[in-house]
Structure 1
């Protein structure tokens, strides 16, 4: 029975250090981080261990002092550092000589030459990480030059007006799009010409939701227009998902809900395309002040949130495994620090090997939630600074390396981004399957909106980048779609110089143009309006109010429910919104479930059957699992296991199980120093189990535990990256 092939690249991790058996995680590929020092030796060492090797390097920052100080081309490039309105360099981390960069042509060419040696070293793919331009930037000389080239007008200080802020951010996204296009296209052609070899380029990037919340501009969906970019890594993890937001007037961390929405918008980047997407998880976080218990709790929240998006089945199982398996973090109760608990290390190994089996699994929802698409555009990033904000707010920079809840109220308010969460959370908390939908893609891909019957839209925190998007939306509504528009027209950014207010026919806001495209008056009262076979429901309310005021959130829910009822009545739709507090999905034999707090009830969600808890190092057999509000579950349903010997879950990589008349055998691989557990379904009770290192004679017996009720066998052994041969005898 063959289970996995490393060439499929279903799981991977990134590591800047050399090979070490304690974090030989046995994924399919490894991303060697950084072109520095012994990177060619690091590539060789990981290849020798059987990994497919990629390279990852930063694209907006890095150890680029030779370039900055003029050693590359004889000209210093400190004028290309991102600067705020105090003309201070915007620094990555704490090193004053590592600024975030304005991506000029010269900088793009420098990165191209620097990365070329990785192509020569034979890596299979290159990841250009985090193209980031901070909203408080836009004051360096290089940016001023780029402004005059792009806009054909003198530079304006971004804080001078909302128009200047919007245009500055739009330019920032363009510059990093141009840079990635230049690097990827040049090096793809080089690899073909010199080596007759195709090399792939990916962009590890935070979600559009997180970058907007943290006030960073990045290309996001614009990269889909670049033929040289083959896909993304969704950099969603505890550090992004723990950013607080507001629901019913209460600001707090909602890690599961935030992660669910973040993974959702990242899934939308590649849905319906041939681009690859890996979802990132991190069992730790960039902030080292938490306990292992805290890390585990929030890791599980993000893990389960990602698995509820079945269109993606590739995963970066962690960044920096060295800090997980060799790092020390505060003990519970504050008495010193400790290494990773043995049980958590085993659980992580179980999970990352489960992740390698998600590809090709049929998905079926076990809960019946109304699917609601919440439209989101890249332009949301362009509105995250305002001339009226205080000077302290203008210079505020948050990157997730400290807990956001420790910030002062003014700064926490800057991270709230309540207009978006005001539309998302009141629906999600009451059982709607809210899916962020990339508005920009509606103009790129024919039929992109066909999978949705209900869409929610507001232009109070983002803007449509072309009038053609309204033609697509109008056609979708006329064909039977239900569009709920929420907004009161009060956003200052409606007045920026853009397509809806230029030319002979001008509109005060893109909302008015949308209404006109639907054949309706530009000024409407609240209510529902028939448009072809579909309808528009209009709620003239600023969406941030739906986050702050419970009654406004309820008004939003009532508007959606009324519009859905109208759609069922007028065009025979069979849409149902079952108010519930949980969601559960079956992916092949796996059941993924979560129950939300702050919801319609405190009732738990119960799952019955022969189940294996994959989030428990003991892989216990359970007849019933109860998931309470605020909890999540990842289970194996034994009724879906199939006949004969079946691997249910293991804290080791097991690629092949060989059956014979007298039993079965396999070879298990895992990081040194971790305890392994593996559970198999068997057609009969084993008599003995023996094991030894791969290549050596099987030399000893081990204890095993047989569960008669489930006909499953639990094995325990020490992991070994060189392989442990196990033989089970009937």
Structure 2
């Protein structure tokens, strides 16, 4: 993990505050946040510290008061703020509304961001293109409706059709905005500076946006050539949103994060675009304790690392609030505490290790086959229960009390999706969300899957030719489980399956016809060509509401697999584990087939422990997880190798007398490094320009590793020198 070039951009963070040594994390790049008057100076200071410089700003909201109040063009633009049916603006803060992305607003953002281009940034991140489901009532949106649909605006709350059409328009508007903005600024950078400017979209997962009732372009961004990649904004705040499994509603941070990260990697699967997975050791909700943050942070880290196709990470948003912030103590929530010293060291160990996760050698332990759940952007279009007319509470993960009514809680549970996912995930199956919309974008998109699940009770196929591709996949040997009772009122929206010559009561009927099945077939297993269709005619949320419902889903999938392959053995377990190069990642689930622990034997460095201890046996109980370095993994024939460290390690060199390395990190922060050394050390010291001090160190004979203890100093270069014993 030494001498990685920053231009690889493996790790980064975002920060709106000026440079400060207390949160100088020494990642590859920094995303300077916000386009206010201080932006050029902030860019300059971070660049002086050696970072590759990106810019991040909100595309749906921000400190854009000069635009709202007409200082830009002499016309106030509050009519472009998102508004709910009560006539209230949907806001992110005082004078910071979520915006309808009109052409004028897009032009305004383009001009503001040109200042960052002029300041020399290499990439720009336009975060969170979000339109709330309960929006759609502002004058600007009504105008856009007329332009897009060529008909008078319809109040979205009056019918499923109006809600569905409003949501499709919301997604289109942000797609249009990003396309115009990115394309124009790329041209500007090339014309004025002959510089290729990259654009990325930090966005929540399709799963989370649907659950929180937000509309965003999501997979539609794949169609924009000016977009170069994404940040998967998944963290404890999204993944701890409660869901229901076997009738129990609670937080399931690991399982939700596992599914969310899996969903996001579909945005880059089969493309050359980049994806960074986000982690956040804190979250937007400041009311938790450090121990709570730590427990859930570890779960999201492990969940992300179980997806080895992605090896870039945003290691933190807002490091200032982590390393300078204070949060409730365990004993008294009225008392606020700074980050515990040991936890700060642990975070730095993890953050720097993440830069080394691009490993070609991947080994999965136990069951390996992926089971895909077909999901679509259209999930976001039907997130309003027109009949119930709930309280329309705006939920963003920071205030659990915001959702109180039973109908709103039921909607927030998103049990239609989790009813399909959790019964298999909880039994150790590698469940992977699969982007239905991509079936049209990429040939052979489904080739890596033998088993898929689908329901149109909470999403809709936007094009009929999707069914041709699915039918051909089944006929060629695929196993499809369809779950649904045709009870969703959104089946009646004006769409291709019930317009013109198409007269189907639901899109399922067209799918079954494409498969060569009658629309009223009985529940059970049906052969289609070389493949199998398993049909469970019940709403997928019923699979979440009881163990009986979960068992029914497991049984239909099991029967389908056994029918397709008589040698197939249905095996369930309660853990996931894989190895990425020398790194072992594992998680054990509760609520699973049994409560037995997972025992891992060997010789490992525990990367979740601040002291990087060596362990020969790890016992993981349900709800535990671990991130390890496998010391028995075949390493390069190096005399010296850094196993893990709380620092950015540069200029590691060795000679006959010993080795030395430059260590960089946040000011005065306690740091450790475990280093493989072919020879036993005699002493170790920390060397700066004006002095050299001996430091504490420990030698482990069994692993030939030395554990070094030292402190960072960001004002001057710090070297760690280790001298070997004479032979």
Query: How far apart are the structure 1 equivalents of 2:274 and 2:552?
Result: 39
Matched, 1:539 2:536: yes
Q: CA deviation at 1:505?
A: 2.9
Deviations, residues 213-260 of structure 1 (Å, cap 9, x unaligned): 000000000000001101110000010011000001111000110111
Query: How far apart are the structure 1 equivalents of 2:385 and 2:372?
Result: 28
Deviations, residues 50-84 of structure 1 (Å, cap 9, x unaligned): 00000000001111111111121122111111111
Matched, 1:580 2:573: yes
The answer to whether the 8 A contact 2:131-2:170 is kept is yes
**3-state SS of the aligned residue for 1:386?**
coil
Match of 2:219 among 203, 218, 221: 221
Match of 1:621 in 2: 614
Matched, 1:669 2:664: yes
Match of 2:326 in 1: 328
Query: How far apart are the structure 2 equivalents of 1:342 and 1:163?
Result: 55
Match of 1:387 in 2: 386
The answer to whether the 8 A contact 2:342-2:610 is kept is yes
Query: How far apart are the structure 2 equivalents of 1:211 and 1:687?
Result: 56
Deviations, residues 461-481 of structure 1 (Å, cap 9, x unaligned): 000111111111111111111
The answer to whether the 8 A contact 2:2-2:649 is kept is no
Match of 1:413 in 2: 410
Alignment of 1:642-657 (within 5 A): 642=635, 643=637, 644-657=639-652
Match of 1:506 in 2: 503
The answer to whether the 8 A contact 2:685-2:693 is kept is yes
Query: How far apart are the structure 2 equivalents of 1:195 and 1:575?
Result: 60
Query: How far apart are the structure 2 equivalents of 1:685 and 1:576?
Result: 50
Match of 1:345 in 2: 344
Match of 2:592 in 1: 599
Q: CA deviation at 1:630?
A: 0.3
Matched, 1:725 2:702: no
**3-state SS of the aligned residue for 1:269?**
coil
Query: How far apart are the structure 2 equivalents of 1:112 and 1:387?
Result: 37
Q: CA deviation at 1:711?
A: 1.4
The answer to whether the 8 A contact 1:206-1:234 is kept is yes
The answer to whether the 8 A contact 2:645-2:674 is kept is yes
Q: CA deviation at 1:174?
A: 0.2
How large is the RMSD of aligned CA atoms in angstroms? 1.4
Query: How far apart are the structure 2 equivalents of 1:11 and 1:89?
Result: 37
The answer to whether the 8 A contact 1:370-1:431 is kept is no
TM-score normalized by the length of structure 1? 0.97
Structure 2 unaligned regions, length at least 5 = none
Alignment of 1:231-246 (within 5 A): 231-246=229-244
Match of 2:77 in 1: 77
Match of 2:395 in 1: 398
Match of 1:19 in 2: 19
**3-state SS of the aligned residue for 1:32?**
strand
Match of 1:711 among 690, 704, 725: 704
Matched, 1:113 2:111: yes
TM-score normalized by the length of structure 2? 0.97
Query: How far apart are the structure 1 equivalents of 2:467 and 2:214?
Result: 27
**3-state SS of the aligned residue for 1:633?**
strand
The answer to whether the 8 A contact 2:393-2:402 is kept is no
Match of 2:473 among 455, 458, 476: 476
Query: How far apart are the structure 2 equivalents of 1:464 and 1:379?
Result: 7
Match of 1:192 in 2: 190
Query: How far apart are the structure 2 equivalents of 1:418 and 1:527?
Result: 22
Aligned residue-pair number:
720
Structure 1 unaligned regions, length at least 5 = none
Query: How far apart are the structure 1 equivalents of 2:510 and 2:650?
Result: 56
Out of 47-56 and 506-515, give the one that drifted further: 506-515
Deviations, residues 95-147 of structure 1 (Å, cap 9, x unaligned): 1x111111111111111111111111110000001000000111111111111
**3-state SS of the aligned residue for 1:603?**
coil
Change (3 A) 1:156 1:591: same
Matched, 1:139 2:120: no
Deviations, residues 158-205 of structure 1 (Å, cap 9, x unaligned): 011100000000000000000000000000011111111100000000
Match of 1:638 among 626, 631, 644: 631
Match of 1:275 among 273, 276, 279: 273
Out of 58-67 and 362-371, give the one that drifted further: 362-371
Alignment of 1:558-573 (within 5 A): 558-569=555-566
Query: How far apart are the structure 1 equivalents of 2:569 and 2:670?
Result: 47
